[in-house]
């Protein structure tokens, strides 16, 4: 098998010295931030968590081109599996996170097997994922063994690092930061692999990719597994951080929207898109949540407006637009995403 040439047109992944310097400065800033401005830790943690899950959605939606409207199902599976294991068996979430991730992948493969076998795509795939998430939502609401409509409170055992419980927010900041950096690296790495190119081929021309020998079913299954696993990890950390999970806040439609909007608005199919989208939307939602406490959904009204504006004027997201605009001015390839 011949190797893919390193410098193909789309994947100009050369790192200039200034890219390394930028990354280095960003890492240093992010690591000293908790001591410089401690009161924004909550917002930063939420940005990181929704970036992790946005990257998960991005692998399937942005790279492999299958838009899911029900990613909250993986978030919920991640949150419920680790929480139930902790409550009933005392299993530390540090191990629970692996079980959650595995459970997310298993369900992802199951949903993927059902949908991709019949070449469901576009709105049909979006809707079937929504239906799966709604079924889980209904089960979580009706089944009292998993808390029913009132949800589950995770018992707080004080500061107990071995159970992923901390009094201060700083450890969660670093957990979510490193997981986010890991997710960025993972997606960046996938983008450069043969499988990453299969994702793009399947997204752009499903039938042509098939004709050229790409196993599109397998490609979509791999994308689904990675996507589901990453989203489930985000769900576990969220549950440990908030210490409460309920059917609406996990499996709800609004949560699917909050997972998918950062990559769509930041730029689907780009490594940094979900981070950019999350960095823009999460503070917006936290601020409006504080400003309109009695109206819990008002931040979604703003999300709706942002989504409509982005779809109408920047259909490839902010980064997609930036890349196009810059390449028009002769910056082709210099903007490494």
Partner 1 sequence: MTYSFVLQSLLNGLLIGGVYSLMAIGLTLVFGVMKVVNFAHGSLIMLGMYTSYWSVMMFHLNPYASILISFVVLFIIGVAFQKFLINPILDAPEHNQLLLTLGVSLFLENLAVFLWSPDYRVMQTPYSEINFYIGDISISLVKLLAFGVAILLAAIIYLILTRTDLGKAIRAASEEPRGSLLMGINIQRIYIITFGIGAACAGVSGAAITPFIPVYPYAGWLFVITAFVVVVLGGMGNVPGAFVGGLIIGIADSVGAIFLPGGMKSIISFIIFILILLFKPTGLFGRKDA
Residues making contact with partner 1 (CB under 8 A): 67, 69, 114-115, 117-118, 120, 122-124, 126-128, 130-132, 134-135, 138-139, 141-142, 149, 253, 257, 264, 292, 294-301, 303-308, 311-312, 315
Nearer to partner 1, 33 or 253 (CB): 253
Helix, strand, coil percentages (3-state) for the chain, rounded to 5, are 75, 0, 25
Q: Least distance in Å: CB of 116 to partner 1? A: 11
| Angle at which helices 93-116 and 122-142 cross, to 10° | 130
CB of 217 to partner 1, least distance (A): 14
Here the tokens at position 79 are: 């949150």
**Secondary structure E strands in the chain:** 152-153, 244-245
CB 80 to partner 1: min, Å: 17
Token representation of residue 305: 């407006």
Compare residues 143 and 178 and give the one whose CB is closer to partner 1.
Answer: 143
For partner 1, which is the closer residue by CB, 82 or 220? Answer: 220
Which one, of 100, 234, 91, 80, lies nearest residue 146 by Cα? 80
Contact 239, 83 (CB under 8 A): yes
Q: How far is the CB of 315 from partner 1 (least distance, A)?
A: 6
User: What single DSSP character describes residue 165?
Assistant: B
Query: In whole angstroms, how close is the CB of 100 to partner 1 at the nearest point?
Result: 24
The span from the CA of 68 to the CA of 235, in Å, is: 17
3-class DSSP assignment, residue 160: strand
Q: Which is nearer to partner 1, 39 or 294 (CB)?
A: 294
Our CA angle for 293, 46, 188, nearest 5°, is 150
41 vs 109, beta carbon nearer partner 1: 109
CB 161 to partner 1: min, Å:
38
Q: Which is nearer to partner 1, 27 or 301 (CB)?
A: 301
């Amino acid at each position: 098998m011949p190797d893919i040439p390193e410098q193909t047109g789309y994947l100009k992944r050369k790192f200039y010295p200034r890219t390394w310097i930028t990354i280095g400065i960003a890492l240093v800033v992010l690591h000293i931030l908790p001591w410089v401005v401690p009161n924004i830790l909550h917002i930063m943690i939420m940005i990181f968590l929704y970036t992790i899950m946005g990257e998960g959605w991005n692998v399937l939606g942005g790279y492999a081109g299958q838009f899911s409207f029900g990613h909250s199902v993986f978030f919920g599976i991640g949150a419920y599996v680790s929480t139930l294991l902790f409550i009933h068996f005392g299993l530390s979430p540090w191990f629970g996170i692996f079980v959650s991730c595995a459970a997310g992948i298993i369900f992802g493969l199951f949903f993927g097997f059902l949908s991709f076998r019949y070449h469901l795509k576009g709105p049909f795939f979006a809707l079937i994922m929504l239906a799966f998430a709604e079924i889980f939502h209904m089960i979580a609401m009706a089944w009292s063994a998993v808390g029913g409509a009132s949800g589950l409170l995770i018992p707080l055992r004080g500061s107990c690092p071995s159970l992923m419980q901390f009094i201060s927010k700083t450890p969660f900041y670093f957990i979510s930061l490193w997981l986010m950096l890991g997710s960025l690296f993972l997606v960046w790495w996938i983008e450069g692999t043969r499988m990453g190119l299969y994702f793009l081929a399947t997204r752009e021309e499903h039938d042509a990719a098939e004709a050229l020998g790409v196993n599109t079913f397998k490609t979509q299954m791999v994308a689904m597994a990675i996507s589901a696993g990453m989203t489930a990890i985000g769900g576990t950390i969220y549950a440990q951080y908030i210490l409460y999970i309920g059917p609406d806040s996990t499996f709800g439609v609004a949560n699917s929207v909050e997972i998918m909007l950062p990559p769509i608005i930041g730029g689907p199919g780009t490594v940094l898109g979900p981070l950019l989208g999350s960095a823009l939307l999460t503070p917006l939602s936290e601020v409006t949540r504080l400003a309109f406490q009695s109206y819990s959904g008002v931040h979604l009204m703003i999300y709706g407006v942002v989504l409509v504006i982005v779809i109408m004027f920047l259909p490839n997201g902010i980064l997609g637009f930036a890349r196009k605009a810059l390449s028009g001015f002769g910056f082709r390839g210099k903007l490494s995403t």
